[in-house]
Amino acid sequence: MYNRYIPPTKGRPTVDQSQTQPAAPVANFSAAQPYSRYIPGQAPAEPAPSAPPQPQRIVFNDADLPPIDHSKRARTLDEELPGCGENKKSKKTKSKRGKDVTEHGAGEESKSRQREKTVTAEENTVPETQPAANGDVLPDADAEPVPNSAEKRPKRDKKKKKKTIDRDGDTSMFDAEDDSIRQRHKGVFEKVQKALQVKEGVEDSDEEESEPAEEHGLEPLPQPEPVIFDESKLTYETLPPWLASPVRVGPGITRPFTKLGISAESSKVLESKGFGGAFAVQTAVLPLLLPSPDRQGDVVVAAPTGSGKTLSYVLPMVHDVSQSRITRLRGLIVLPTRDLVQQVQLACEACAPAFALNGGKRVKVGTAIGNRVFRDEQSTIMGIEQRYDPAGYEKSIQKRDRLTMVEDSDEEDDGFELNPTEPLPHHVITHVSKVDILICTPGRLVEHITKTPGFSLDYVRWLVVDEADKLLAQDFQKWLDTVMGPLSNTRPGARDFPTSNKSGVRKVILSATMTRDLSLLNGLKLFRPKLVVVEGTKAGEQNLPPLLKEYGVKVRDPSLKPLYLVELLRSKHIAPVSQEAPESMESDTDESGSSSSESESETDSDLSASDSDSESSSSSEDESNAKRTAASAPTKINSRPPKFPTTALIFTKSNESALRLSRLLALLAPDLAPLIGTLTSSTKTSRRARTLRAFASPSSQLRILVASDLVSRGIDLLNLEHVINYDLPVTETSYVHRVGRTARAGRKGCAWTLVEHAEARRFWREFAGEGNGAVTSIGREGTVERVNVVGEGGFGEEKVEEYERALEVLRREAVGGEGRR
């Protein structure tokens, strides 16, 4: 038939050269190699260097074949069969011999025999001119004898060879068979030869591929499936099902609480607090969080500003915690700012009485925001208890002595005495939580976890992360890892829900601009999460409240921007937004004991002055404003300045800008000065809280707040009618939160943005979603209207001079001249 090609080894002798006699440069591939096995899909290897002649290991007996450029052929085959020149490969070929014979039937017998000879020859690197065991000589005309090579031949090979020849009998028939093979496969040999003349490389392999390999019984070897790299980007469709298919709820839906699993008595109390029925987001979230026989998972909420997200988690949490008699820390609410913490505390306090009925206890709520010395804060959330335990008493005395020595310095740092009281005889002192629910900023929470003795999350079964996109994106002090660690501890029964079969930590994650970034959400280790989305008719990724109206105010001359603001404040546009005055939450707060309406009004009347005074303590510029404000403040309590019958919150880009603008406004519009307050992160927390309370009170004279982005998120000012972006917000998300301070809880509200020429393109495309190539993630019911508050002629000379005078005052105040210092 035909001979199988046994490729040369690449520079590695099959047999130790020292053992093999020099020999036999039988042929530098002088023997014809009529056939090679084609293996498709093999990448061409580097061409073998042609220069150094390899020790001859191939013995071939087809001397009659047409001459072939063997060096080229050898290279080509090596390329096709990477590694085929390796001895290892040859052995493989040999081991398959018997199988080949069986598979290809009798016709293949001689092929097999021929192969046998070749393999044997190759393995020994010796031309087969040595007498075989039976005295036969293999017909290898080109080979030269190698003296004593047989002695050095491994026994195994000898045996094989002997067996082969014995079986075949007369070897002379090989030649005849070879001739017949050549005759029968003449076409193939010609093709092979032709192929060898073709240039190497890709052309070679192409040509080889085009050969009908199957004609010769050489099926392409099965190749592994090509690996397809997935270069697709994460899209909405590739999100996990819970994110891609949220629970959707329309914005207008309301339902009575009794229909959602809250008892009639509790609903009544809630109604008395101003919560007559559930808002849309609450209709969807409450059933997922209130006790249910179903196995419940975590909840992620994306709903517009002012839609009532706070109550959607406060109600179920307070309801659940009220069912546990012993006070232990069972709920954690994490928020980004102190002001928000205080606001949510009021909401919890308002709801607590609703569940302190029928055996439920009144839930104790505490805060940790770092607004007071750490020791005081520790003592408000943690207490000590004397427990009778004689054995423990002995131990604790020893342990305390040890700890006191070690922790002396810590005690001073933390301010919290480990054991301020001596234990009673045979008693042990244990640290106990004074609160069921702790509302905190992330940084302070981490401090308590790491520094407050006895502070434990072992019994926590609620974790709420509000304004989650902000909190998760800014991992203050790695707070999430610090919290998630202890939350994964399991103490048998500690996290059992008393009114359902659930055990573990329930997580509720919320924002008006909720992230779908899985890398951020992953840290929360959510369990069977459900995403609840409140949508408008024109849904975007971040939806604005349905009753919000937006305006873009053109600022032609940025150097006179403060004058545009004054014009806007005095214009007919900034008028009271007609709407029914809803019941105020203030009374709820009063009932909860946080403040009384009497003291509130007193505080209000003081606040305008004292608040400004306090601002003065944090900023000298503001102090000047405050003194003037106090001087011109009306003496009559609750009198409302006629010049500004509405409310406005003005956002600037920084604390510094807020303070300066506030002062400038007072200089440019002295009649408005008494109405202006300032809120920045440099303002004391207690003062900020008072300012916010005063602003929210209808009886307060504070009507205008100039603020940094500190209060852009979450702050609930129900009576706020106008938001003014004096400086353009940095992101769409920031815009959504800022303007969302108005038009809350189903009320109307207006948002105004002062747009300079250089900002116009960005504002209209990215924020308003108008113009060529507009792309915005903001979903809104209407459109943003264009407004001019100054005519074509601009400001008169008199106004500009007035402005310059105000700037001069400001400048002098800044350098410590006239005004204050």
Residues that bind ligand ATP (CB under 6 A): 274-276, 278-279, 282, 303, 305-311, 512, 585, 714, 716, 718, 740, 744-745
Q: List C-alpha distances in Å: 374 to 113, 191, 314, 450, 745.
A: 93, 91, 26, 13, 36
Distance (Å, rounded) from C-alpha 570 to C-alpha 641? 13
Distance (Å, rounded) from C-alpha 719 to C-alpha 721? 6
The CA-CA-CA angle for residues 570, 677, 337, to 5°, reads: 125
Neighbours of 182 (CB within 10 A): 20
Distance (Å, rounded) from C-alpha 602 to C-alpha 590? 14
Rg (CA), the chain: 44
Buried b (16+ CB within 10 A) or exposed e, 644-673: bebbbbbbbeebebbbbbbbbbbbbbeebb
**Tokens representing residue 792 in the block:** 């074509």
Contact 420, 404 (CB under 8 A): no
- Label residue 249 exposed, middle or buried (CB < 10 Å: 0-12, 13-18, 19+): buried
Torsion of CA 137, 138, 141, 147, to 10 degrees: -60
Distance (Å, rounded) from C-alpha 701 to C-alpha 695? 8
Residue 509's DSSP bridge partners are: 300, 465
Residue 255's DSSP bridge partners are: 278
Distance (Å, rounded) from C-alpha 206 to C-alpha 193? 15
Residue given tokens 């989650």 in the structure block: 468
Contact 705, 695 (CB under 8 A): yes
Cβ at position 556, least distance to ligand ATP in Å: 33
Q: Tell me, rounded to whole angstroms, the distance of Cα 489 from its chain centroid.
A: 24
Contact 676, 666 (CB under 8 A): yes
Distance (Å, rounded) from C-alpha 518 to C-alpha 449? 26
Contact 369, 440 (CB under 8 A): yes
The CA-CA-CA angle for residues 522, 305, 654, to 5°, reads: 85
The CA-CA-CA angle for residues 439, 443, 448, to 5°, reads: 70
Contact 108, 79 (CB under 8 A): no
* Residue 344 parent element (H or E): helix 338-355
List phi, psi (to 5°) of 662.
-60, -45
Contact 188, 216 (CB under 8 A): yes
In sequence order, what E strands does 261-321 have? 299-302
Contact 61, 178 (CB under 8 A): yes
Sign of CA dihedral 723, 726, 732, 738: negative
Q: Tell me, rounded to whole angstroms, the distance of Cα 577 from its chain centroid.
A: 40
Residues 6+ apart with CB under 8 A from 190: none
Sign of CA dihedral 177, 107, 96, 225: positive
Cβ at position 535, least distance to ligand ATP in Å: 14
Region of residue 368 (left: phi > 0; alpha: psi -120 to 50; beta: else): beta
